[in-house]
Amino acid sequence: MNTLALNQIALWKPKLCDQLTIREAGAGRPYIENQIIKKTTDKTYRYAKNYEKGKHKFCLFVITYANNADVVERQLDAVAKKLKASEIAKAVEDSTDATFTYTKYSLEEK
C-alpha cells in the first residue's frame, strides 16, 4: 500500500465517477516528506478526476491542503495532457483498489 505524499499527483485506474470529486479529511493524517513521517496539521482535501487519452482511461488524484478546487482541477488537467500513453497503461495495469503510482508531477503552490 502506498504512503501519502502531500501535493504529489497520483495515477490510478479509473474511479467510478468521471467528474472531479473532492473528499475532506481531518488533521492528523500521517504522510511522508523527505523520507520523514509527519502528521498533517490541518484538513486535507483529496481531488480526483478521470481522464481519457487514446484508448486509456485513468484517474489522477492528489491530496493537499489547498482548498481551491478550480486551481487544483486545472493543474490535474494539465498533468493529464503531459502524461505518456505508455506510462498511463502501465500504471493502470498495476493499480489495485489500494495501490497506485505517483507521477513525477506535484501541485504548484500558488
Partner 1 sequence: MALCVLPYPNMDFVPLDVLTADELDQIVANINAINAVSLPTKVSDLTNDSGFLPASNLNYSTSEIDTGTTWIDGKKIYSKTIKITSPTKDATTDYAHGIAGFSLGWIENMFVVKTSDNSVRSLNYAFSTQYAMAQLNATNLSYRIPATDWGWDSATLNLYATIKYTKS
Under the binding rule (CB under 8 A), the answer on residue 29 touching partner 1 is yes
How many angstroms separate the first and last alpha carbons of the chain? 30
Question: Which residues neighbour 94 within 8 Å (Cβ) at sequence distance 6 or greater?
Answer: 101
Stretch that binds partner 1, among 24-32, 64-72, 73-81, 82-90 (CB under 8 A): 24-32
Q: Please, which of residues 56-75 interact with partner 1 by CB under 8 A?
A: 59, 61, 63
Under the binding rule (CB under 8 A), the answer on residue 99 touching partner 1 is yes
Grid look-up 479529511 returns 25
Are 89 and 101 within 8 A, CB to CB? no
Cβ proximity to partner 1, 2 vs 68, nearer residue: 2
Under the binding rule (CB under 8 A), the answer on residue 21 touching partner 1 is yes
What is the Cα–Cα distance from 110 to 93, expressed in whole angstroms?
A: 33
Grid look-up 495501490 returns 99
Cβ proximity to partner 1, 1 vs 110, nearer residue: 1
Phi, psi of 70, rounded to the nearest 5 degrees: -65, -45
Q: Under the rule (CB under 8 A), what is the footprint of partner 1?
A: 1-2, 4, 10, 12, 15-17, 21, 23, 25-26, 29, 46, 48, 59, 61, 63, 97-100
